[in-house]
Structure 1
Amino acid sequence: MTAPPADLRRAYVGLGSNVAPASHLRRALDELTVRFGPIERSPVCSSAAVGYDGPDYWNLCVGFDTSLTAAALVARLKAMERRLGRAAGELRLAPKSIDADLLLLGDLRSSSPPLPHPEILTRAYVLGPLAMLAPERILPGHETTVGELWKNFPGADALTVLRPDPL
């Protein structure tokens, strides 16, 4: 097997939707596959909306290799959100057709964009799918695996894996 080019880094992206989530998440997965080639993904999880009264969210995490910079990758994710119906300047605590957040990019640590994404350590719907996809991954700046962080996460029961897989 041939090793990937040295300039490729593994990106982990969190995807979420609570407006026609099956449709929007399928379209996001299709777009990411067309742009980045084969992707890995976690199971789809359901959780209550946080900070407002709205429909439950479906969330998952995807992983793929890219040579893009963090800023360029975030710009592509935001453009994908707009193509899938998310308005620029939309309220943070409101229903969303699609939300795509860069969680990790290789071992990069950055303040802009924030990497690792700060919600990894505070939100079950971010940490859970990431841990299901890459349990042995160690967050840059930490010594514990994502799987161990999830195992000890106090809000883990707020997340439900959807079975059978709805996508």
Structure 2
Amino acid sequence: MQIAIIAAGCFWGVQEVYLRKFIPAAAILKTSVGYTGGITADPTYKEVCTNTTNHAEALKIEFDEKLTSYDKIIEFFFAMHDPTTSNQQGNDIGTQYRSAIFTTNPEQATIAKRVMNEVQAKHYPNKKIVTQILPAGKWWDAEDYHQLYLEKNPDGYRCSSHFLRWNVFE
């Protein structure tokens, strides 16, 4: 089992896209939404939304590296959101909605940078990717009502920028 931590806008939609669209689905062992990358301890959703904590709404993915690779998790990340917008995805604006990869070791950082460069050249030759690649810091799970939010609330808010822009699994 390996862990990937990503931020790509509202964490509800990021979680939903990984759980519904990632292939093979069995590779995703567990997901949780939460906060990371900020300056305050044990933040709440209300605090994160003030744009004063510097935390990102993020998704922690536990995955089976026998069924998929960190490379594929990261390529999927770039395909499922717009990595060229700073602190924004769709109508969601603020530092908590930034595009970021929080790496847990130097190998993940190397892979994330390589995949980002490949995606930049192939899919965004005329727009700069602004995704931050940072060492993972402390993780705080979001409040329970945020976990699997769109599964529990099928008519809940969905960010317009959370969709696959290309087929990662060809």
Relative to the length of structure 1, the TM-score reads 0.43
Relative to the length of structure 2, the TM-score reads 0.43
